[in-house]
Amino acid sequence: MGAKKVFVTVGTTKFDKLIEEVSKDEVLEVLHSLGYTFVQFQVGTGDSNERKHPKIHIKYDRYFENFAQEIESSDLIISHAGAGTCLEVLKQHKPLIVVINEDLMDNHQIELAQQLAKDGYLQCCTPRTLKDTLLERKFLQFKQYPNPDPRLFSRYLDKCMGFEIK
């Protein structure tokens, strides 16, 4: 099966606290104890003090051209609260931990992450509680996100515009 991979992604801006937190020895140790052997960072515009770990293979990249594929090849995603990322991961039915950036003012994306966590599709935490969230292992038991009915909106719009509905 190869290495079990963790994908840490911060989106198009930066979230250095998340990168720092996952790079800590104690967190990497926890990841290793959970069976993960490869951590892929996507750091955006942030700094990456590239570091090494004896048991875990670590890789850094700024962006990924094919984001969906990167998620597909991962076994756990640790992400910022971006709506696009959340949806992509949920649609692929992968375990997801969303880490909230407390330094952002008026970050309405938190709303979405918390709602999705309440519904049981993912786990939500802050950089400080990430280690405990990993240790709890609750992120492995998540509800599968249902696929939407793609015709829902077009039927609605046809009705609004007065088109005949077949």
Partner 1 sequence: MEDQLKIELAILIAVLILARILYLVHKITTGFSREASSKRVTPCRTVICIGSGGHTTEMLTLMASLDFAKYSPRYYIMAKTDTTSYAKVRKFEETKNHSNYEIIEIPRSRVVGQSYITSIFTTLYSILYSVPLVCKIRPDLILCNGPGTCIPICLISFLLKAAFISDTRIVFIESFCRTETFSLSGKILMYFADNFLVQWPSLKQKLKRAEYIGQLM
Does 35 contact partner 1 by CB under 8 A? no
Out of 44, 82, 95, 127, the only residue in the binding site for partner 1 (CB under 8 A) is 82
Range in contact with partner 1 (rule: CB under 8 A) among 16-24, 70-78, 124-132, 157-165: 157-165
Cα–Cα distance measured from residue 128 to residue 27, given in angstroms and rounded to the nearest whole number: 11
User: Is the Cβ of residue 6 or residue 90 nearer to partner 1 in the bound state?
Assistant: 90
Q: How far is the CB of 125 from partner 1 (least distance, A)?
A: 18
The DSSP output letter for 38 is E
> Per DSSP, what are the bridge partners of residue 98?
79, 124
Which residues have C-beta within 8 Å of that of residue 20, sequence separation ≥ 6? 127
165 forms part of the interface with partner 1 (CB under 8 A): no
Pairing of strands 96-99, 76-79: parallel
Residue 62 lies near partner 1 (rule: CB under 8 A)? no
Largest CA distance in the chain: 66
Q: Which of 109, 122, 123, 131 binds partner 1 (CB under 8 A)?
A: 109
Judged by CB under 8 A, does residue 2 bind partner 1? Answer: no
Question: Tokens at residue 86, please?
Answer: 């959340």
Specify whether the CB–CB gap between 4 and 37 falls below 8 A.
Answer: yes
- Residue 160 as a binder of partner 1 (CB under 8 A): the answer is yes
Q: Which is nearer to partner 1, 111 or 136 (CB)?
A: 111
Rule CB under 8 A: say whether 65 interacts with partner 1. Answer: no
With CB under 8 A as the contact rule, the residue among 3, 68, 135, 157 that binds partner 1 is 157
**Straight-line distance from the first to the last Cα atom of the chain, in angstroms, rounded to the nearest whole number:** 48
